[in-house]
Structures are given as structure tokens and as C-alpha cells.
Amino acid sequence: MLNWNRVIHLARTGNLQPDQVVRKTPEEWRAQLSDEQYRVTRQQGTERPFSSELCHLFEPGLYACVCCGTLLFDASQKFDSGTGWPSFTQPVSENAIAYHSDHSHGMVRVETTCNTCGAHLGHVFPDGPAPSGLRYCMNAIALQKVKPEPA
């Protein structure tokens, strides 16, 4: 289980190798994504808080990167943080997310990106629930809900 010390270590020393790498030109990403998806994921934007119904959606399933389809989060790790963005306590695997020190806007934070394609997802904070204490605060527009496989 990831914890804040491990996240900080990865942000400072380098991330784990992803299972695969997806690289596209800006033109290829623009052709694939909506203008808002492109702004958030490829230009490190942020969507307005409470702008997505995904904040209040708590049903079983998985969440993938909207850019490359890499699985990022399991709904069982989702919680209502009250922040206006979907929040999770853990990614589906330790190498699904990449961590980067972020000193923008006069703050010190840890940015989270898709470790496969580099899409900006949001930030992670050390104020989540036990046992990890992590709050992955994600832009809903950077995620896509994956339909569960039929039983």
C-alpha cells in the first residue's frame, strides 16, 4: 500500500516503470480528445470543482485514463472528500501513477500523471482516510469509467 513517504520518495527520485508507454503528438491528442480534455490532461489544467457527476458516483467498477485507457483506480478506493473532485485512496497498481513535485501557483504539491501516457490527472495529498492517509484528487474529465465485465 502506498503512503505519503513513498509518494514523496517517488516524486523526488523517479517513478516506477510503466507496463507500457504511449506517446502521441499534440495534433494526435487534439484529434482524440475534446477541447476540455486536452486542456486538462495535456496542458495541466484543472476542471471546475463540482462540475462532474463523477464526484457523487459510487458504484463498483474501474476508472481508466481518458487518453490511453490505462486502468488507474478501483471504485472501492473512492471516497467523498467534499472537495468537488473525485477522490481515491490508492491507485490500482503502484506503477499506474507517476508523481512530480509541483511548485506552481505559489503552492507545494505533488502532481499525479498517468504513468503510461503522461496525462495530467490531478494531485495527491496526505489528508485522506486511513489506512493510507492519501487523497488522490483527480480531474473527472481525465478519467473514464470502465464498464465491469459481465459475470
Residue 61, domain extent:
4-146
CA–CA distances in Å: residue 34 to residues 43, 107, 123, 143: 13, 29, 22, 13
Contact between 17 and 95 (Cβ < 8 Å) = yes
Flag whether 78 is in a domain: yes
Q: Quote the DSSP letter at residue 94.
A: T
pLDDT at 55: 86
Flag whether 49 is in a domain: yes
CA–CA distances in Å: residue 81 to residues 29, 86, 124: 30, 8, 12
pLDDT at 56: 86
Instruction: For residue 135, give the H/E element and its range.
Output: strand 135-138
Catalytic-role residue among 55, 68, 117, 137: 137
- Print pLDDT tens along the chain (151 aa): 999 999 999 999 999 999 999 999 999 999 999 999 999 999 999 999 999 988 888 999 999 999 999 999 999 999 999 999 999 999 999 999 999 988 777 777 899 999 999 999 999 999 999 999 999 999 999 999 997 665 5
Residue type, 14: G
> What dihedral angle (degrees, nearest 10) is formed by the CA atoms of 65, 99, 89, 136?
-70
CA 48 to chain centre: 16
* Active-site residue, 68 included: no
As a whole number of angstroms, the distance between CA 130 and CA 120 comes to 25
Residue type, 71: L
Flag whether 90 is in a domain: yes
Q: Quote the DSSP letter at residue 11.
A: H
Flag whether 151 is in a domain: no
87, β-bridge pairs? 79, 137
Overall number of domains in the chain: 1
Flag whether 117 is in a domain: yes
CATH number, domain of 56, equals 2.170.150.20
